[in-house]
Amino acid sequence: MSDLRYRTISFLSDYGLRDESVGVVKSVIKSVAPSVDIVDVTHDIRRHDTRAGGLALARAAQYLNPGVVLAVVDPGVGTSRRAIAIEVGDGQSVLVGPDNGLLAPAVALVGGATRAIELDNAVYHVPAPGPTFGGRDIFGPCAAHLCAGVPLLELGNEISTATLMPGVLPVGGREGDVVEGEILWIDHFGNLQLNLDPDDLDGLDGPLMLRSGEVARRIDRVTTFDQIGPSNVGLLVDSYGLLSIAIARGSAAEELGLKESDSVQLGLAEVEPGVSTPVELGKRS
């Protein structure tokens, strides 16, 4: 292993696993750097969904091993969008992919870019008979050459980090006692991760309501999933430190009919004195 500058490539794409694409990219990588360790982050990002790919990479970022991150979700393949490599931590890691915002959230989370280049030195590409297959012909081989010790600036010309396409990380807001956010991600279990963290609820003491479109549900503020009552909706800090909406042993996404990117509002539940029926027993949406 001592022959490598970086021993790990963490690989995310929207290629899926139904055909040989991911395997071909890995084979190209291994042909350049045989002993590199490739860790699949995921290859099931929705086709061309750079927002979802960027968020998955951001969630994973703090846990990935130092080394090269190879991320390919690239609706603009074959257009003039740039192929880039972004160095972070003064060389601790390098992110390789298209300049379309995909890498930006992860780069921001690990402290920002220290240098960036365009991958325009064709010496390190695999020649293609037709349009490039980005992962196989440019991103994969460049990631492998970085692991094998090729200096960053040898792979292409330096570009200003100020010219990199920013990522679209939606920011939550607050109007009086109402917190506005959106659903960043629906996990495998149907929990709804919001773009809000616990501090966003400061001062909102008391029972909360969740509103989104026609959904209006009172929510339990809990710290673990099993504190959520059988037919209730819970709000908790999730395992990434963000606020999430969940139900007990079921899918909040299905139960509430919500999807990624939907806007949500969290506000204090109105308590009408004299009305004895608790809000959470009302007809379900």
Q: Which CB, 117 or 133, lies closer to a second copy?
A: 133
- The CB density around residue 174, as the number of other CB atoms within 10 Å, is 17
Q: CA–CA separation, 227 vs 85, rounded Å?
A: 45
- Out of 2, 9, 26, 179, name the contact with a second copy by CB under 8 A: 26
CA nearest neighbour of 15 among 56, 39, 47, 41: 47
> Could you say which of 5, 49, 114, 132 contacts a second copy (CB under 8 A)?
132
The nearest distance, CB 130 to a second copy, in angstroms, is 4
Looking at the Cβ atoms of 218 and 225, the one nearer to a second copy is 225
Q: What stretches of 53-103 adopt beta strand conformation (E)?
A: 68-72, 83-88, 93-98
Residue 6 sits in the site that holds a second copy (CB under 8 A)? no
24 vs 58, 114, 241, CA distance in Å? 25, 31, 36
Are the beta carbons of 145 and 153 closer than 8 angstroms? Answer: no
Given 108, 204, 237, 279, the residue binding a second copy (CB under 8 A): 237
Q: Is the Cβ of residue 58 or residue 117 nearer to a second copy in the bound state?
A: 58
- For residue 108, what are the contacts with CB-CB under 8 A and spacing of at least 6? 58, 167, 169
CB contact at 8 A, 136 and 24: yes
By beta-carbon proximity to a second copy, the closer residue of 223 and 276 is 223
Residue of 89, 112, 249, 259 interacting with a second copy (CB under 8 A): 249
Name residues whose C-beta falls within 8 Å of residue 13's C-beta, 6 or more positions apart in sequence: 21, 22, 25, 43, 45, 53, 70, 71, 72, 73, 135
Please work out, in degrees rounded to the nearest 5, the angle formed at the alpha carbon of residue 95 by the alpha carbons of 93 and 99: 155
Interface with a second copy, residue 63, by CB under 8 A = yes
Kindly state whether residue 218 participates in binding a second copy, applying the rule CB under 8 A: no
Out of 23, 89, 111, 278, which residue is the one contacting a second copy (CB under 8 A)?
A: 23
**Sites for a second copy among residues 33-62 (CB under 8 A):** 34-35, 37, 39-44, 47-48, 56-57, 59-60
Q: Shortest gap between Cβ of 16 and a second copy (angstroms)?
A: 5
Rounded to whole angstroms, how far apart are CA atoms 111 and 49?
A: 24
Residue 76 engages a second copy in binding (rule: CB under 8 A): yes
- Write out the residues near a second copy by the rule CB under 8 A: 1, 7-8, 10, 12, 14-24, 26-28, 30-31, 34-35, 37, 39-44, 47-48, 56-57, 59-60, 63-65, 75-79, 128-133, 136-137, 185, 187-189, 223-226, 236-241, 244, 249
